[in-house]
């Protein structure tokens, strides 16, 4: 009986060893392990896992093919709905999406859908199965701004439909948050990201780097003299938020975005590169999301004592359960129900510590989470050299400021309907540029939805 088999554990690097290197933490399944885990799937008639997947991958179908040893078919089934399986298998919050809806999870452990997707994705990269067939070129051209998950998903779907697609990327490396945000130990750049992007290029998608839309070109010039028929904005959310507390302008206070970009894109973690990155002896990371976990685990690997400070309890941590578990294994200190009130510094303007207050949980707020309230007289100091703020991000205002008639909300996010259409005709948007910082798979889902809407829009014209 499938559900009598316990979930197949996944092999990982030893925590003491991996806390000193940037190699991938999780080794993933081999064929034998993947086949055994695939045998646990109940092949439900109305699979709840598919409904819970933002891109609606036909999960039981690909797992069934994997179980039968038909790996090419498994890869083809995933490719119908996802262009980045090796990436999503590694970084999706499966526990709150597909696996969180798995029937097996009610009485035992859910099927390890993410680990199986990763296995199939990696098999496809290794065995070079042909890229998905594309429709004949239809003579229409679409510009995609940003090469993160939303842009890559939108571009690959449009290319499959027969559109000429060009991605414009502001940075010198392609991949958006996949290359500058998520650390190497969670998502290997050369082995996985670069090869997944090569698959997208194989569909005929052109990519141009070092183009800041709003400076060298604008949305208007793309639709005008450049002759594109539509534009998709998937520029992400790269503008960091700060707390507005005293001492935040001291040397040694950085945003998680800047810290991770230095570490990832500039290879500051690699001894053979001389990119400076300052961590000092002790680092405090403020926040409780996945970005906070990425920053604190990176700081630990760069040799610092690393601490998370979060104003709610562990139950309310927004980060993935797996990331929190890995961080604890690696010796990260968690100070829960703690909120910074001031960053302390010396006479030279460098950080020496952070003054915090203890919190307690009050009534639930609009999000349904209980609001933290300050405990009077509970101030205490934590000594540190660096404070990393991981409090979320919002979109860069440059695009909206240089595009007439493009509406944004009070957070600076581009306003778009459920299909990705903005207030400007022919301009679509999706991912973090619309929602604010969210997950890779939600951005991909938005990119795919917008691709369908762009196709419909251009067919009607």
Q: How confident is the model at residue 133 (pLDDT cuts 50, 70, 90)?
A: confident
Q: Judge whether 229 and 458 are in contact, CB under 8 Å.
A: yes
Looking at residue 114, its pLDDT comes to 97
Report pLDDT digits (tens) over 305-326: 999 999 999 998 999 999 999 9
Non-local (6+) Cβ contacts of 300 within 8 A are: 19, 306, 330, 331, 332
Reduced to 3 states (helix: H, G, I; strand: E, B; else coil), residue 349 is coil
Reduced to 3 states (helix: H, G, I; strand: E, B; else coil), residue 355 is strand
Phi and psi angles of residue 249, each rounded to the nearest 5 degrees, phi first: -95, 10
Looking at residue 155, its pLDDT comes to 97
pLDDT of 267 higher than 80: no
Question: What is the average pLDDT across 426-433?
Answer: 97
Give the percent of the chain with pLDDT over 90: 85
Looking at residue 132, its pLDDT comes to 66
Question: What is the average pLDDT across 268-287?
Answer: 86
Q: Report which of 312, 295, 313 is spatially closest to residue 304, judged by C-alpha positions.
A: 295
Looking at residue 129, its pLDDT comes to 67
> Which domains, and CATH codes, for the chain?
9-125 (1.10.1060.10), 139-236+394-458 (3.50.50.60), 238-390 (3.50.50.60)
Residues in the chain, how many? 461
Looking at residue 399, its pLDDT comes to 92
Looking at residue 131, its pLDDT comes to 58
CA 335 – CA 159 distance, rounded (Å): 48
Query: Both tokens of residue 120?
Result: 């199939």
Question: What is the average pLDDT across 443-447?
Answer: 95
Residue indicated by tokens 């109305």: 46
Q: Which of 364-373, 391-400, 443-452 has the lowest mean pLDDT?
A: 364-373
Question: What is the average pLDDT across 194-215?
Answer: 94
pLDDT of 2 higher than 60: no
Report pLDDT digits (tens) over 383-394: 999 999 999 999
Q: Which residue has the higher pLDDT, 438 or 31?
A: 31
pLDDT of 1 higher than 60: no
pLDDT of 164 higher than 90: yes
Residue 411: C-alpha distances to residues 161, 291, 395, 438 (Å): 34, 19, 8, 14
Q: Judge whether 144 and 234 are in contact, CB under 8 Å.
A: yes
Looking at residue 3, its pLDDT comes to 59
Q: Which residue has the higher pLDDT, 266 or 88?
A: 88
Question: What is the average pLDDT across 203-209?
Answer: 96
Is the C-alpha dihedral spanning 234, 235, 238, 239 positive or negative? negative
Question: What is the average pLDDT across 412-440?
Answer: 95
Q: How confident is the model at residue 295 (pLDDT cuts 50, 70, 90)?
A: very high
Q: How confident is the model at residue 130 (pLDDT cuts 50, 70, 90)?
A: low
Looking at residue 154, its pLDDT comes to 97
Looking at residue 368, its pLDDT comes to 82
Looking at residue 274, its pLDDT comes to 78
Q: Judge whether 406 and 231 are in contact, CB under 8 Å.
A: no
Q: What's the whole-number average pLDDT of the chain?
A: 94
């Amino acid at each position: 009986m499938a559900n009598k088999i316990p979930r197949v554990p996944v092999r990982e690097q030893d925590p003491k060893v991996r806390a000193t290197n940037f190699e991938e933490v999780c080794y993933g399944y081999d064929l034998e392990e993947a086949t055994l885990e695939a045998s646990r799937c109940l092949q439900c008639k109305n699979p709840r896992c598919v409904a819970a997947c933002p891109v609606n991958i036909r999960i039981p179908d690909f797992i069934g093919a994997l179980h039968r040893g038909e790996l090419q078919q498994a890869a083809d089934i995933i490719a119908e709905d996802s262009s980045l399986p090796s990436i999503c298998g590694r970084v999706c919050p499966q526990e709150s999406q597909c696996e969180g809806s798995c029937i097996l999870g009610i009485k035992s452990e859910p099927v390890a859908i993410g680990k199986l997707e990763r296995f199939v994705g990696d098999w496809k990269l290794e065995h070079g199965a042909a890229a998905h067939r594309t429709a004949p070129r239809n003579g229409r051209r679409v510009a995609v701004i940003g090469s993160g998950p939303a842009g890559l998903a939108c571009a690959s779907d449009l290319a499959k439909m027969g559109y000429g697609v060009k991605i414009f990327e502001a940075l010198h490396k392609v991949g958006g948050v996949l290359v500058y945000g998520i650390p190497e130990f969670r998502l290997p750049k050369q082995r996985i990201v670069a090869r997944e992007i090569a698959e997208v290029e194989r569909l005929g998608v052109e990519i141009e780097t070092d183009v800041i839309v709003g400076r060298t070109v604008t949305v208007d010039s793309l639709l005008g003299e450049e002759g594109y028929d539509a534009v998709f904005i998937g520029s992400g959310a790269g503008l960091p938020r700060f707390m507005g507390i005293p001492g935040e302008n001291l040397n040694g206070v950085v945003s998680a975005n800047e810290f991770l970009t230095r570490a990832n894109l500039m290879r500051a973690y690699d001894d053979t590169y001389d990119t400076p990155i300052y961590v000092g002896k002790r680092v405090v990371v403020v926040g409780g999301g996945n970005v906070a976990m990425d920053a604190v685990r990176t700081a630990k690997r760069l040799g610092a004592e690393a601490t998370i400070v979060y104003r709610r309890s562990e139950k309310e941590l927004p980060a993935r359960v797996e990331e929190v578990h890995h961080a604890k294994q690696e010796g990260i200190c968690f100070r829960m129900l703690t909120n910074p009130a001031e960053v302390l510094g010396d006479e030279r303007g460098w950080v020496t510590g952070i003054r915090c207050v203890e919190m307690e949980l009050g009534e639930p707020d609009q999000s349904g989470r209980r609001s933290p309230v300050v405990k009077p007289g509970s101030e205490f100091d934590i000594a540190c050299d660096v404070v990393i703020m991981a409090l979320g991000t919002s979109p860069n205002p440059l695009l909206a400021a240089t595009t007439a008639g493009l509406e944004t909300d009070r957070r600076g996010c581009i306003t778009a309907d459920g299909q990705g259409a903005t207030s400007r005709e022919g301009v679509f948007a999706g991912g973090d540029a619309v929602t604010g910082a969210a997950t890779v798979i939600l951005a991909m889902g938005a990119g795919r939805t917008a691709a369908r809407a762009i196709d419909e829009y251009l067919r009607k014209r």
